[in-house]
Chain A
Amino acid sequence: MNKRIIAFMMLLVLMVPVLAACGTETAATTAPAATATSAEAAATATSAETMPTAATEATAAATTVATAEATTGGGATSEIKIGLVTDVGKVDDGTFNQFAFEGLKRAETELGVKIDYIETIDPKDYEKNIEQFASQGYDLIIGVGFLMGDAIKAAAAKYPDLKFAIVDFAYEPALANVKGLVFSEDESAFIGGALAAMVSKTGKIGAVGGKEQVPAVKKFVLGYEAGAKYVNPDIQVMTVYIDSFTDPTAGGEAAKTQITEGADVIFGAGGQTGSGAIKTAADNDVFVIGVDQDEYNTTFKKGPAPKLITSAMKRVDNAVFEVVKEVVDGKFEGGVYFGNAANGGIDYAPFHDAESALPADAKAKLDEIKKGLADGTIKTGVTLN
């Protein structure tokens, strides 16, 4: 009997870390929103005698739907409020979360909107975090990341009057109040591939991708190949896909196989797997190209990185800014924002420490290619079936 009680106690003890994790989780997720709303309320409080709800808003971090609707109803303010829900991570983690937040900050200073963010700690909190903004009647709620697709869709159906945007996801068919922010990965990688072909001496280059069935990965890899062939039609591109985004070891090994078979530029496109590939390749004295963001700041921790020649970037910040601008201008429509070379949605990263190793006219040539992609004289020719 005694033993059983002890066993039960032990089980409870075992549960503690789990519960503790949950506790901090919710606390951490609500905290920024709470402080932000109270700050905001404090700012408007002086001029808000006519709006009694402002005071309630200040205390209501986890406000109920009812009061929130009262807030929006009563708040005839012209102020536009934008809420950003990150994917798992932080707004300063150097991934697309940070990019999205930077776009939002730019919108704050240039367009004068009120901004706010929630950092998601666990994927199962997506809906909860979106709900926090939605229930307070935010004008535009931006979700970061493909993985939030279902959560945003559900919230958009629940709050048909609010506007939503989501990075890296496009709905089929389009939803009336959601804008999907997607990018032309192939154009971005095309520029990287062109640079790879310019610096390759062996005439062989490699690409290490994440899961092949993810369209963005395949478009990156194919775009890279197309870009390299545009500069040097005879170049040989070796491609390896790895069925995981979190396997830096396999990424590194894939890069090594390509290097032993003669590749002298490696492009990594697949989350941590790709980062592992370019880290290993750079250690083996081979030029590398990053993906999504400027990997100089993320994978290589701001250098020194003499082997990282550029990164094929998706300008999530520009896309976020554009969609906020549409809301401010009253031109928001559900559908798709397609970031490409023409509208600044994609770009290549600066050369940083590798500048001296590159041909002097590299930048001019890349800008020319970017211009060609923008005005349509160059086509990547990448289509996914």
Chain B
Amino acid sequence: MKFTRARGVGLLGIFIAIVLLFAVNNSLGNKITETSKIQSIWDFTSTIRIPDSAKLKEDPKAPPVAAIELPTMITISLICGALILVGGTLIAKNPERGWVAPYMSSVIGFGFFSILLWAVANNSVDLSDTLSRVVRLGTPIAIGALAGIVCERSGVVNIGIEGMMLTAACFGYAAAAISARMIYGESLPANVVKGVVWLPLIIGILGAILTGGMMAALHAWLSIRFKVDQVISGTVINIMAVGITGFTRTNFLLKFESPLRAGLPQMPLGPLADIPLLGPILFDHKPITYLMILMVIGLNFFLFRTVWGLRTRAIGEHPKAADTVGINVNRMRYRNVIIGGMIAGVAGAWFSLEGSFGFDDGMTNGQGFISLAAMIFGKWNPIGAFGGSLLFSSADALQLKVQAYNFDLPSQFMQMLPYVVTLIVLAGVIGRAKPPAASGKVYEK
């Protein structure tokens, strides 16, 4: 019996399912002594609430639309049993293709779901809150991944996304703070609702985009004009970003008094936001999150349906061939790397203007690197990268959620989850990751 990728993945899936089953069994077993009602581990139930988003606004205690009560142990056993069964089939049949990715995705997806059920045994959880958080936290990762795609599709490796995001977050916030001070002076006019003033915030976003573009221009210049190794040049960007932003923050931002008190506001899309479950997930977000969804769709269109996209892909795969038909490879690369940087700038603005308001040292916390993993997961394809981002952010959202239930798993394990998922995904699910052929290579005529 030969060891193949399909068999390896099957084995891994079975292993994960068995460990999960034992862990749940053990932990629920320990909980029995605490309560008198519950006689055996089979008596635990996990309730999943789907709140009534329309009524929730007026009355925080509005009853949920649905409260699905699942028997914890039975559900988890069924899930694990199915995973083991399919894993076994994979090992026995060793299918050539088409099985590995769906199987691994369902191991991760159902694994997360089981952990959620396990954490809320004897309790209930708000499902739409959890899922909407997945989209929110996935926003910067997805935008970063798009930035990476634009660069790498045109043949320039960009590991400086983290640095571009950080700088953009810093100067985007600074632009918003300064412009607010210049427009409104010491304090905002009294008629401003909840401290939201659009003009400085938009200037802030533009500032972030500009900063990202400038950092990317530096990267492009070093790696195209001076043919510096693109990985080195990206690293330079990352290191420089830490220095520049730290310096700006301690010497300027900490002292600066701005009248701005709030970042980008929540923008529910009218009646759409009131749809149970779907509303909070898709139609009740802040502006940059909507922008992210538009950008994913837009980039997918531009990359595969326009002349620009065809040329971009051409110079990333075979620049010489592109050159012979009259495309100016290096000019095109400059332009695309700068566009990529500007996209990364939007992600930067998310950190300091949408996710939270204000700038702190190192506030991107490595999301730029995670977004590169998402890009590879999505095989340099916008829609795929978006899926990858949601996978990583769901690990994050899950760990924030289950910790609040005094969960048995230590918090460190839960915090490790996104990175473990990164490893599993990069090693197994996607099969062979095939980057654009000319990615990372200097083009010389």
| Chain A residues near B (Cβ < 8 Å) | 7, 10, 14, 17-18, 21, 24, 28, 88-90, 93, 121-122, 206, 212-213, 238-244, 246-254, 256-258, 260-261, 263, 272, 276, 279-280, 283, 301
Q: How many A-B residue pairs have CB under 8 A?
A: 104
B133 touches which of A121, A257, A263 (Cβ 8 Å): A257
Q: Which of B331-339, B397-405, B423-431 touches A?
A: B397-405
Q: Tell yes or no: B384 within 8 A of A by CB.
A: no
Q: Given A248-B360, A272-B360: A238 and B404 within 8 A (CB)?
A: yes
Of all chain B residues, which has the CB nearest A7?
B226
B261 close to A (CB within 8 Å) = yes
In the complex, how many angstroms separate the beta carbon of B367 from the nearest chain A beta carbon? 9
**Size class of the contact patch on chain B:** 35 or more
A93-B254, A249-B356, A257-B401 given; A243·B415 CB < 8 A: yes
Closest 8 A/B residue pairs (Cβ): A249-B355, A248-B356, A238-B404, A260-B129, A240-B403, A243-B415, A241-B411, A272-B360
Is the CB of B392 closer than 8 A to any CB of chain A? no
8 Å CB contacts to A: which residues of B91-146? 125-126, 129-130, 133, 136-137
A251: nearest chain-B partner, CB-CB: B356
Name the segment of B16-24, B72-80, B239-247 touching the other chain. Answer: B239-247
Q: B412 to chain A: which residues have CB within 8 Å?
A: 212-213, 243
For residue B171, which residues in chain A have a CB less than 8 angstroms away from its CB?
none
Would you give 13 A-B contacts (Cβ < 8 Å), ordered by A?
A14-B236, A121-B251, A206-B404, A238-B404, A240-B400, A240-B403, A242-B400, A243-B412, A247-B363, A248-B356, A251-B356, A253-B133, A257-B404
A253-B126 in contact given A10-B226, A240-B403, A241-B411 (Cβ < 8 Å): no
- The answer to whether B250 and A253 have CB atoms under 8 Å apart is no
B403 contacts A241, CB within 8 Å? yes
Partner of A17, one of B244, B404, B415: B244
Known contacts A239-B406, A246-B361, A212 near B411 by CB under 8 Å = yes
Per-residue 0/1 for B231-261: is the Cβ within 8 Å of any A Cβ (1 yes, 0 no)? 0000010001001101100110011000001
Known A-B contacts A7-B226, A238-B406; A121 and B250 likewise in contact (beta carbons under 8 Å): yes
Q: Which residues of B contact A213 (CB under 8 A)?
A: 412
Given the complex of chains A and B, what is the CA–CA distance between A18 and B243 in angstroms?
8
* Nearest A residue (CB) for B56: A260
Chain B residues with Cβ under 8 A from A244's Cβ?
Answer: 365
Q: Does B262 make an interface contact (CB < 8 A)?
A: yes
Flag if B400 contacts A261 (CB, 8 Å). Answer: no
CB-defined contacts of A252 to chain B, threshold 8 Å: 355-356
Instruction: Check if B406 sits within 8 Å of A280, measured CB to CB.
Output: no
Among candidates B244, B262, B363, residue contacting A246 with C-beta atoms closer than 8 Å:
B363
Q: Label chain B's interface by main secondary structure.
A: helix
Considering the complex, give the chain B residue whose CB is closest to the CB of A271. B360
Chain A proximity mask over B387-420: 1 for CB below 8 Å, otherwise 0: 0000000001100110111100001100100000
Which of B125, B246, B356, B362 is in CB contact (< 8 Å) with A276? B356
Q: Considering the chains assembled together, what is the distance between the CA atoms of A263 and B358 in angstroms? A: 25
Residues of B within 8 A of A17 (CB): 240, 243-244
Interface status of B351 (Cβ within 8 A of chain A): yes
Most chain B beta-carbon neighbours within 10 Å: one of A18, A242, A251? A242
Closest-by-CB residue of B relative to A88 is B250
Minimum C-beta distance from A193 to chain B (A) = 16
Residues of B near A272 (CB, < 8 A) are 360, 363
How long is the Cα–Cα vector from A147 to B415 in the complex, in angstroms?
23
Return chain A residues, CB-CB under 8 Å to B365: 244, 246-247, 250
